Amino acid sequence: MRICETPQISDEWLIDRLAVPSASSFSKILTATGKPSTQANGYMDQLLAEWLAEKPVDAFEGNQWTEQGHEREQEARDQYGFITGNEVTEVGFCLTDDGKYGMSPDGLVNDNGLVEIKSPKASTLVSYHLGGKLPNGYKPQVMGQLLVSDREFCDFFVYHPDIEPFFLHVKRDEQYIIQLKKAVDDFVDKMMDKRERLKHLKVAT
């Protein structure tokens, strides 16, 4: 794994991850049930647009809950470290050794783990407590992070200041990771073929 040292959410971080498939969007390639996602073509077109423009385009603006999540992330990370006693290291964008795809982890944990932090609205946290398992929507992201990092576990930590956090220790699902790797590799191969078809449009630098 190659680690970029630029802080997350910085301008440099945006460049590090430009036009690169990221684990946070792997659900747009493969669903939690192992089926091809219907969003794959749209996601690929977005990455190709970034590659052509050489800057982020059509960026997702988020909403009050995503903004609130960013604001509470450090508080949540500190709470996770206090509860578990684990050492958490913040890093920038992380790439596979071949640079084909990557991830932006919320923290590297000790020598062999990761932490994925969510800070949603209170009712969503309650639903996670009632479900008692990793929400399906996050399986591609969590397993994608383990694919990129080759680490052994990801602690899924959901935080709200007024409710007990939801904490789940998630180990590698090797069968799913193999399936995910093939899907993402195929996605990247198709994207590179399309780059060849579009290179005459690339903005001159």
Mean pLDDT of 35-63: 88
pTM of the predicted model as reported, rounded to 2 decimal places:
0.92
Q: Write out the DSSP string of 74-94.
A: HHHHHHHHHHH---EE----E
Contact 119, 69 (CB under 8 A): yes
Question: How many independent structural domains does the chain possess?
Answer: 1
Predicted local distance difference test score (pLDDT) of residue 204:
56
Reported as a single tens digit per residue, the pLDDT across 99-158 is 999 999 999 999 999 999 999 999 999 999 999 999 999 999 999 999 999 999 999 999
Predicted local distance difference test score (pLDDT) of residue 10:
86
Predicted local distance difference test score (pLDDT) of residue 85:
96
Three-state DSSP at 133 gives coil
Predicted local distance difference test score (pLDDT) of residue 138:
97
Give yes or no for residue 203 having a pLDDT over 80: no
Please tell me the distance from the alpha carbon of residue 116 to that of residue 16, in angstroms, as a whole number: 20
- Looking at the DSSP bridge assignments, the partners of residue 94 are 3, 103
Predicted local distance difference test score (pLDDT) of residue 72:
86
Question: What are 10's two structure tokens?
Answer: 């910085």
Please tell me the distance from the alpha carbon of residue 68 to that of residue 78, in angstroms, as a whole number: 16
Predicted local distance difference test score (pLDDT) of residue 69:
55
**Domain around 8:** 2-201
Question: What are 166's two structure tokens?
Answer: 């939801």
Reported as a single tens digit per residue, the pLDDT across 173-193 is 999 999 999 999 999 999 999
At 9, the pLDDT band (50, 70, 90 cuts) reads confident
Q: What CATH number does the domain containing 9 carry?
A: 3.90.320.10
Predicted local distance difference test score (pLDDT) of residue 45:
97
Handedness of CA 71, 44, 98, 14 (dihedral sign): negative
Reported as a single tens digit per residue, the pLDDT across 54-107 is 999 976 655 554 566 567 899 999 999 999 999 999 999 999 999 999 999 999
Distance of CA 183 to the CA centre of its chain: 16
Please tell me the distance from the alpha carbon of residue 74 to that of residue 87, in angstroms, as a whole number: 14
Q: Closest Cα partner for 161 from 79, 65, 67, 64?
A: 79
